[in-house]
Amino acid sequence: MARYRPNHKGIAAYLRSSELADVTKAIAEDVARRAREKAPRSNNPEDGHYADGITVERDDSAGAKGDRVGFNVVATQGHPTLVEWGRKPGNGSPGYPGQHVMRDAAKEVTE
Domain count, the chain: 1
How far apart CA 59 and CA 69 sit, in angstroms, is 6
C-alpha separations of 43 from 40, 50, 77, 95, 102 in Å: 10, 11, 14, 20, 21
**Residue 2, number of CB atoms within 10 A of its CB:** 4
- pLDDT tens by residue, 3-57: 999 999 999 999 999 999 999 999 999 999 999 999 988 776 666 588 889 999 9
Is 16 a domain residue?
A: yes
In a domain, 70, yes or no: yes
- What pLDDT, in 10s, does the model give residues 64-109? 999 999 999 999 987 888 889 988 888 888 888 999 999 999 999 9
Q: Is 102 helix (H, G, I), strand (E, B) or coil?
A: helix
Q: Domain containing 95: what range?
A: 8-110
Q: What radius of gyration, in Å, describes the C-alpha atoms of the chain?
A: 19
- pTM for the structure as a whole: 0.82
On whether residue 2 sits in a domain, the answer given is: no
- Report whether 58 contacts 69 (CB < 8 A): yes
Residue 3 lies in a domain: no
Q: Is residue 72 part of a domain?
A: yes
